[in-house]
Chains A and B, each alone.
Chain A
């Protein structure tokens, strides 16, 4: 069965520290890859997405992610985190092409940034 795995469940960092959140998926077909953020009490917001082309994707708020096909990975990075980055982060994989591919989420990673 298709699955998305986020290895870091709870990450605590100090401000200005670098961030890398791991995401691996198991699906052999065409995939679209996403990272979403959910701030406390708010709905999901798209950070970035990868469909094709350059495997290094830049998103909003200084986040970027790299798609490594051979490793089935799509890790999220940020060089210097801020207190406002405290939130829940979800990796998601959209399966298949066209507009019917369902989106499967990883377990989520809680990021806590200490001021």
Chain B
């Protein structure tokens, strides 16, 4: 089945630094990928839709200059949290949509802790 690899799984960074999270579709092409944020005991909140070769579409309230998304190829999207602060600490999850069956496959998530 379709597999999405997300790295790193855990990262701790200092306040003010930037962190890059990668999301790769391993055995299928994904022209569209999605980035979510999940707080403890809560649901997944869609942050942005990443489109290969074009600018990402951000949901209302998500700062595009803080959460930089790049989708440079059909199998890779990256999320960079810039100038991270403790309130950015969260669980970030990516998802890729398989053009073959329109199913959504999720990465295993990245636990970001900003200290």
Contact = CB atoms under 8 A, between A and B. Distances in A.
Given A34-B104, A43-B108, A43-B109, A100 B43 contact: no
B44 A105 contact: yes
Summarize B's interface: helix, strand, loop or mixed: strand
A106 to B, nearest CB: 6
B13 interface: no
Interface of B: 31-32, 34, 36, 41-46, 49, 51, 93, 95, 97-99, 102-104, 106-109
25 contacts: A32-B102, A43-B93, A43-B106, A43-B108, A43-B109, A44-B106, A49-B103, A98-B102, A99-B98, A99-B99, A99-B102, A100-B31, A100-B32, A100-B51, A100-B97, A101-B97, A101-B102, A102-B34, A102-B49, A103-B46, A104-B46, A105-B45, A107-B43, A108-B42, A110-B41
